[in-house]
């Protein structure tokens, strides 16, 4: 199934049809042209405890993804109480983010190059955050890097930006 900015699966349950997006997202599709899924799917899993045995709590795995325009990012909850949501101020100009539903997967087709910061809303202050760097990062990297976050999220983002070389 091909997805564009104008048709994005917001809640990916088996057998559920794609849902139309808002007028803002349709306008974004017109601004950036049709952005169709390119066939590359990247999975990001949400965990209460990291599966690598490190003892880290409330993590996205991986927490840093290098992607390209048209890649589909699948956020997959592995345990209850997690969701994925974009962080305002950590998206490229003109891009509308996403807000998942607790315990439900979210699929997002990347519409534009840049940096996309995301969080698990219930565990944001605990540092459950991640970053998608698209086609090298684009012009919003410095703005995204300058954002301030609650609790451990600041430190986690500093580590992730350093890991990304930004």
Q: Give a yes or no: residue 89 inside a domain.
A: yes
Q: Give a yes or no: residue 140 inside a domain.
A: yes
Q: Give a yes or no: residue 110 inside a domain.
A: yes
Domain that holds residue 70: 7-164
Q: Give a yes or no: residue 54 inside a domain.
A: yes
What are the CA-CA distances from residue 163 to residues 102, 147, 154 (Å)?
28, 17, 14
Q: Give a yes or no: residue 82 inside a domain.
A: yes
Tens of pLDDT along the chain (166 residues) come to 333 332 333 333 333 333 333 333 333 443 344 578 888 999 999 999 999 999 999 999 999 999 999 999 999 999 999 999 999 999 999 999 999 999 999 999 999 999 999 999 999 999 999 999 999 988 899 999 999 999 999 999 999 999 999 9
Q: Give a yes or no: residue 2 inside a domain.
A: no
CATH number for the domain spanning 72: value is 2.60.40.420
What are the CA-CA distances from residue 70 to residues 37, 46, 153 (Å)?
5, 22, 28
The pTM (predicted TM-score) of the whole model is 0.80
Please tell me the distance from the alpha carbon of residue 107 to that of residue 121, in angstroms, as a whole number: 17
Q: Give a yes or no: residue 1 inside a domain.
A: no
Q: Give a yes or no: residue 128 inside a domain.
A: yes
Per the structure, the count of domains in the chain is 1
């Amino acid at each position: 199934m091909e997805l564009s900015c104008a048709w994005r699966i917001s809640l990916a349950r088996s057998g559920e049809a794609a849902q139309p997006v808002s007028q803002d997202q349709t306008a974004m599709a017109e601004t950036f042209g049709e952005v169709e899924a390119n066939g590359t799917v990247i999975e990001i899993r949400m965990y209460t405890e990291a599966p690598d045995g490190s003892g880290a709590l409330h993590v996205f795995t991986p927490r840093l993804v290098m992607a390209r325009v048209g890649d589909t990012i699948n956020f997959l909850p592995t345990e209850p109480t997690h969701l994925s949501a974009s962080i305002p101020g950590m998206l490229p100009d003109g891009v509308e983010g996403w807000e998942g539903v607790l315990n439900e997967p979210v699929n997002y087709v990347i519409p534009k190059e840049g940096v996309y910061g995301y969080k698990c809303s219930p565990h944001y202050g605990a540092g459950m955050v991640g970053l998608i760097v698209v086609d090298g990062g684009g012009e919003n990297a410095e703005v995204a890097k300058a954002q301030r976050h609650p609790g451990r999220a600041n430190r986690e983002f500093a580590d992730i930006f350093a890991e990304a070389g930004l």
